[in-house]
Homo-oligomer: A and B are copies of this chain.
Amino acid sequence: MAAWPGGTEGLRYGGDYNPEQWPEEVWHEDVALMRRAGVNMVTVGVFSWSRLEPAEGRYTFGWLDRVLDLLGDAGIAVNLATPTASPPPWFSLAHPDALTVTRDGVRLTHGSRDTYCVSAPPYREAAKRIAAALGERYGGHPALAMWHVHNEYGTGCHCDHAAAAFRSWLLERHGSLDALNDAWTTAFWSQHHSDWAQVTTPRATQYLPNPAQVLDFRRFLSDEMLGCYREQRDVLRAFTPDVPITTNYVLGGWVPVDHWKWSAEADLVAIDHYPSEPGIAAAEQTAFAADLARSWAGGRPWLLMEQAAGVVYTARRMAAKAPGEIARHSLQHVARGSGGAMFFQWRASRGGAELWHHGMVPHAGPDSRVFREVAELGDTLSRIPAPPPAGRVVEADVAILWDDEAWWALQSPGLPSAELDYLDAVRQAHRVLWRQGITADFAHPSHDISGYRVVLVPSLYLITDADAANLRSYVERGGTLVVSFFCGVADEHTRVRLGGHPGAFRELLGVRVEEFQPLAEPVPLAATAFGVSPAFDRAAAPGQALATPMIPAFTATVWSEVVHLEGADAVAVYPGGGPAITRNLHGAGAAWYLSTRLDDDGYTRLLAAAGLSGTDTPGVELVRRADLVFAINHTSAEQPVPVHGRDLVTDAPVTGTLGPGAFAVVRAD
């Protein structure tokens, strides 16, 4: 594995630089402005394929030579991209069988980006060829600091190439057609396959698709794209064994890759993060994304590869970032371990599909608030050390489980409620901690989570037996697990675990759920005598009441269940008296069960009862990164912060308060 240059070299600062969109004379202005802004790395070539290889096998590298020389001479490192996210139009004409086919059978045409099938041999060959050409030509260029393979892998296809690759993948996964039939429960609706040729991608069909097929297709897509990534990575590695290689994840509501699996294959994890709501919600989303990235990296470096300079992209409009928000969001990432702060893109395009996507240099030019903030941020970042290049850079004693497969499975049709929402559940868990100043890690159910005091399990619809055993063992050894509704009900093939829900956790939670009862209207929960008594001692036997009483009680929405106690105590009950929240002492630990959805306040109080609470400092963020403390005031008022020392950025003392929108970085005592 190649080394990430961070550490001793300071934080990376810059963005996607697409010089091919501009006349060459602008390049010189660009470099001058980059230097003014403190930019020290740019990502080049992401969408340059048609410029680099204007006809099959004919390369025009001259312009890129000049760009890299210019950047190198200015001391700006280059994160060089392979341009395979956007094959040129000539490729589409030469290889129509490599164009994406939708589930309806529509073969798409070029004219946007990402219109290819990752399983099509001509695409795979062309991608390796251009990667090799870049590796060969620029592997030794002094400006080269990193390889950026592809961009935001995330396409799917239903063509015959894809179907063939899916079948191979299924054979690998399931071992035999019989095993596949069993895993997919093809006995239902007469879907038994008697020959591999009958197995297809989930193309358009008459009515509900098979959820196990759909889930396996999601897994396949992730693995198939990962195969593409690996091929390019290996090509580049051969040229430059010491240059780190990565690819950038797109985050959002449709999650195309298994982040845990992918992260193991990159030298550093890179994410693109665009919040979808303005204001404090954007800060919450930012901390969430950064914590995910750090967790995926697992002690190796990670980098915020893309963010937007001037705006937050909401569903209806591009909302302007408030003054200072560019810096605050960037600092959030850095505080959580990012090796820098990068943007898409350096200079806002004047045309093309994303002409209204903002840039570090906006359409208005450098005489603008955005560019001034960008330049100021460059200065700020230059004063903050990079995080340690490896190891645990941010301390957390709580983890939230994250599993892309559970999310995929919850995007199936036919679930008991249309209001089941994986991302909402996980974000709520993170949000209530963030608001109390508690930094959380994310973990996969298979991970060693023994180091965490508390582990939250939101919306983990499916889980393997092995992973369920891992969680059980965690509790046995003294951990506290807080499991939310509709977790552990299915196995890895989305088959329901029988005999009472939540099948995988029934014994651990000491409950048996007889049926689900999704709610149309909110219902109140009442605390039990157990729940309200203050005499709780964690190690006490079942029946002992709680230290943090459950008053006032809760409001339940979305979901309810008929819960039977089989060892657990009821902490709060539904109007009819049935248990709604329970606690089960198991081994040396405790397993809590929340059989409904609470609002943020209720969920916060539940976590407090489970022994997890912080300081309610709304809008003020405190993160400890190795030997530094980052304090960020997201509010428009002065706020107290428990921070004292000299601010590395301003070199001024911090004495327990932060001005509106201000931040500070001090050495930990």
**Nearest Cβ in chain B — how far from A620, in angstroms?**
24
Alpha-carbon gap, A28 to B490, bound state (A): 25
Contact code string A82-104 (vs B, CB < 8 Å = 1, else 0): 01001111101100000010101
Alpha-carbon gap, A190 to B367, bound state (A): 29
| A496 contacts chain B at the CB level, 8 A cutoff | yes
**Nearest Cβ in chain B — how far from A203, in angstroms?**
4
Among A352, A414, A562, the most chain B Cβ lie within 10 Å of the Cβ of A352
Contact code string A288-325 (vs B, CB < 8 Å = 1, else 0): 00000000000000000000001100111111100000
Whether the pair B499, A364 counts as a contact (CB closer than 8 A) is yes
| A8 contacts chain B at the CB level, 8 A cutoff | no
- Find chain B residues with CB under 8 A from A92 CB: 198
| A498 contacts chain B at the CB level, 8 A cutoff | yes
Checking B90, B100, B106, B187 against A51 with a beta-carbon cut-off of 8 angstroms, the contacting residue is: B187
| A206 contacts chain B at the CB level, 8 A cutoff | yes
Whether the pair B518, A319 counts as a contact (CB closer than 8 A) is yes
Alpha-carbon gap, A419 to B190, bound state (A): 40
Alpha-carbon gap, A416 to B493, bound state (A): 42
- Find chain B residues with CB under 8 A from A418 CB: 315-317
Checking B185, B314, B515 against A370 with a beta-carbon cut-off of 8 angstroms, the contacting residue is: B515
Whether the pair B495, A355 counts as a contact (CB closer than 8 A) is yes
Whether A205 contacts B115 in the complex (CB less than 8 A), given A47-B189, A316-B419, A416-B356, comes out as yes
Interface residues of A in 340-380 (CB under 8 A from B): 348-357, 362-365, 367-370
Alpha-carbon gap, A319 to B419, bound state (A): 13
Checking B109, B212, B213, B364 against A203 with a beta-carbon cut-off of 8 angstroms, the contacting residue is: B109
| A276 contacts chain B at the CB level, 8 A cutoff | no
Whether the pair A194, B353 counts as a contact (CB closer than 8 A) is no
- Find chain B residues with CB under 8 A from A348 CB: 496
- Find chain B residues with CB under 8 A from A416 CB: 311, 317-318, 356
Whether A501 contacts B206 in the complex (CB less than 8 A), given A87-B190, A92-B198, A185-B355, comes out as no
Whether the pair B363, A498 counts as a contact (CB closer than 8 A) is yes
Whether the pair A111, B193 counts as a contact (CB closer than 8 A) is no
**Nearest Cβ in chain B — how far from A36, in angstroms?**
17
Contact code string A182-224 (vs B, CB < 8 Å = 1, else 0): 0011111111111101111011111111111100000000000
| A330 contacts chain B at the CB level, 8 A cutoff | no
- Find chain B residues with CB under 8 A from A514 CB: 362, 364, 367-370
Whether the pair A317, B190 counts as a contact (CB closer than 8 A) is no
- Find chain B residues with CB under 8 A from A368 CB: 514-515
- Find chain B residues with CB under 8 A from A186 CB: 50, 352
| A513 contacts chain B at the CB level, 8 A cutoff | yes
| A500 contacts chain B at the CB level, 8 A cutoff | yes
Contact code string A21-61 (vs B, CB < 8 Å = 1, else 0): 10000000000000000000000000111110011000000
| A107 contacts chain B at the CB level, 8 A cutoff | yes
Alpha-carbon gap, A365 to B501, bound state (A): 10
Among A49, A107, A187, the most chain B Cβ lie within 10 Å of the Cβ of A187
Whether the pair B185, A349 counts as a contact (CB closer than 8 A) is yes
**Nearest Cβ in chain B — how far from A86, in angstroms?**
4
- Find chain B residues with CB under 8 A from A93 CB: 195, 197-198
**Nearest Cβ in chain B — how far from A550, in angstroms?**
25
Alpha-carbon gap, A362 to B515, bound state (A): 8
Interface residues of A in 131-172 (CB under 8 A from B): 155
| A278 contacts chain B at the CB level, 8 A cutoff | yes
Whether the pair B88, A204 counts as a contact (CB closer than 8 A) is no
Checking B110, B204, B210 against A205 with a beta-carbon cut-off of 8 angstroms, the contacting residue is: B110
Whether the pair A518, B351 counts as a contact (CB closer than 8 A) is no
**Nearest Cβ in chain B — how far from A618, in angstroms?**
21
| A108 contacts chain B at the CB level, 8 A cutoff | yes
| A520 contacts chain B at the CB level, 8 A cutoff | yes
| A655 contacts chain B at the CB level, 8 A cutoff | no
Checking B198, B212, B317 against A90 with a beta-carbon cut-off of 8 angstroms, the contacting residue is: B198
| A517 contacts chain B at the CB level, 8 A cutoff | yes
Checking B108, B198, B212 against A351 with a beta-carbon cut-off of 8 angstroms, the contacting residue is: B212
Contact code string A601-630 (vs B, CB < 8 Å = 1, else 0): 000000000000000000000000000000
Contact code string A317-340 (vs B, CB < 8 Å = 1, else 0): 111100000000000000000000
Alpha-carbon gap, A349 to B190, bound state (A): 13
Select from chain B the residue with minimum beta-carbon distance to A84.
B190
Interface residues of A in 109-137 (CB under 8 A from B): 109-115
Alpha-carbon gap, A49 to B193, bound state (A): 12
| A18 contacts chain B at the CB level, 8 A cutoff | yes
- Find chain B residues with CB under 8 A from A520 CB: 278, 314, 316-317, 319
Whether A112 contacts B515 in the complex (CB less than 8 A), given A104-B106, A189-B86, comes out as no
| A248 contacts chain B at the CB level, 8 A cutoff | no
**Nearest Cβ in chain B — how far from A332, in angstroms?**
22
**Nearest Cβ in chain B — how far from A137, in angstroms?**
18
- Find chain B residues with CB under 8 A from A208 CB: 112, 353-354
- Find chain B residues with CB under 8 A from A190 CB: 47-51, 83, 86-88, 113
Checking B356, B496, B498, B500 against A415 with a beta-carbon cut-off of 8 angstroms, the contacting residue is: B356
Sort A-B residue pairs by CB-CB distance and give the 3 closest, nearest first.
Answer: A185-B351, A188-B352, A89-B198
Residues of chain A touching chain B, judged by Cβ–Cβ distance below 8 Å, are 18, 20-21, 47-51, 54-55, 83, 86-90, 92-93, 100, 102, 104-115, 155, 184-195, 197-200, 202-213, 278, 310-311, 314-320, 348-357, 362-365, 367-370, 414-419, 493-501, 512-520, 562
If A50-B192, A155-B206, A363-B496 are given as contacts, then 20 extra A-B residue pairs at C-beta distance below 8 Å, sorted by A number, are A20-B187, A47-B188, A48-B190, A49-B190, A50-B186, A83-B190, A109-B205, A111-B200, A111-B202, A113-B189, A113-B206, A113-B207, A115-B205, A188-B349, A211-B351, A355-B414, A355-B496, A363-B499, A364-B499, A370-B515
16 residue pairs from A and B, CB less than 8 Å apart = A50-B186, A50-B191, A87-B190, A88-B190, A106-B204, A110-B200, A111-B191, A184-B352, A188-B353, A363-B497, A363-B498, A363-B501, A365-B498, A365-B499, A365-B500, A367-B514
